[in-house]
Each structure stands twice: as structure tokens, then as C-alpha cells.
């Protein structure tokens, strides 16, 4: 798919070099593997990663380095098996953030891990967060 003219064109064509990925947990083989750029253009995860040097491993084997999941929990058997084999397990947001920034997002950040369960964090309904002296982030 041609993605010319989208926000993601700013990314390096070698952004995903060395990444052999496996997409798993999406609702269907076609529909849920899409992301929407800020200008409303639909882009496919697989093709966007491949166009930038990534390779679809097709399964957990075949030299797979990253398992990109959607709709799976941290303790899902696929995620557990992938981590046991030393693969990086990330949610689809990792792909989007990497494309947005033009550099691979840090897979070790908890924000890119699958959620533990659907109930959220116990007690979080009463959690109050206050930010003070927030400074602008500059690149």
C-alpha cells in the first residue's frame, strides 16, 4: 500500500531493520491490522513495518524477534511462550509510536506491554495524579 503523503513518511526507511515480527491477536487477518494516521489515512501494520525494513516472521519461529499483539493479555499462552523464548512482546501502540517518532520505541517500557487483565489496577478508581512544575518536552 502506498503511504506517500502521510505523517508516517517522516520515518526512516530502515526504521524496523532487524525486526522480524509476528502479528497476533488481531480480530481478523485484515480489518484490525490497520492504524489511522493523524490525517485520517488508514495504514496497515504489516506493510508499514515491511516498507521500513521489518520482516514478517509469520510465526514465533523463523527468527522472530518481536511479537506484536492486539486483544491479548500479558498471561495469554502466546505471550508467555514468546517471552520464554526471549522474544519482545509488545502491543500495537509500539508500532504506532515508532512510526510517529521515526525511531524504535523502547520495548522495555511497560506502556508497550500487554495488559495483565481487563479489570485494571485494583484501587485505581480512586487514584488521583497531580502534576506540578511540568516542563515542556523538547526534542
Q: In tens digits, what is the pLDDT along the chain, a chain of 139 residues?
A: 344 444 445 448 899 999 999 988 876 555 445 555 444 444 578 888 999 999 999 888 889 999 999 889 999 999 999 999 999 999 999 998 999 999 999 999 999 999 988 777 677 777 677 777 766 666 5
Instruction: For residue 61, give its domain range.
Output: 7-118
Question: Who contacts 100 (Cβ-Cβ below 8 Å, separation ≥6)?
Answer: 7, 8
* 52 within a domain of the structure (yes/no): yes
* 39 within a domain of the structure (yes/no): yes
**Tally of domains within the chain:** 1
Q: The domain spanning residue 83 has which CATH number?
A: 3.40.50.10190
- pLDDT at residue 81, as a whole number: 96
* 42 within a domain of the structure (yes/no): yes
* 130 within a domain of the structure (yes/no): no
* 65 within a domain of the structure (yes/no): yes
* 58 within a domain of the structure (yes/no): yes
Instruction: Say if CB 70 and CB 28 are below 8 A apart.
Output: no
Instruction: Say if CB 107 and CB 94 are below 8 A apart.
Output: yes
Phi, psi (rounded to 5 degrees) for 50: -65, -40
* 24 within a domain of the structure (yes/no): yes
Instruction: Say if CB 68 and CB 21 are below 8 A apart.
Output: yes
- pLDDT at residue 28, as a whole number: 57
Select from 63, 71, 62, 61 the least CA-distant residue to 24. 71
* 62 within a domain of the structure (yes/no): yes
The beta-strand segments (E) located in the chain are 20-24, 34-36, 42-44, 55-56, 66-69, 88-91
User: Considering the entire predicted model, what is its pTM?
Assistant: 0.71
Amino acid at each position: 500500500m502506498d503511504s506517500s503523503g502521510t505523517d508516517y513518511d517522516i520515518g526512516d526507511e530502515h526504521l524496523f531493520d532487524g525486526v522480524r515480527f509476528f502479528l497476533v491477536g488481531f480480530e481478523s487477518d485484515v480489518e484490525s491490522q490497520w492504524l489511522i494516521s493523524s490525517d485520517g489515512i488508514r495504514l496497515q501494520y504489516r506493510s508499514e513495518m515491511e516498507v521500513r525494513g521489518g520482516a514478517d516472521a509469520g510465526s514465533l519461529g523463523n527468527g522472530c524477534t518481536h511479537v506484536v499483539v492486539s486483544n491479548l493479555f500479558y498471561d495469554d499462552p502466546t505471550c508467555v511462550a514468546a517471552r520464554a523464548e526471549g522474544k519482545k512482546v509488545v502491543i500495537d501502540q509500539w508500532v504506532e509510536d515508532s512510526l510517529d517518532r521515526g525511531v524504535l520505541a523502547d520495548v522495555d517500557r511497560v506502556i508497550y506491554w500487554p495488559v495483565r487483565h481487563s479489570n485494571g489496577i485494583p484501587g485505581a478508581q480512586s487514584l488521583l495524579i497531580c502534576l506540578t512544575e511540568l516542563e515542556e518536552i523538547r526534542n
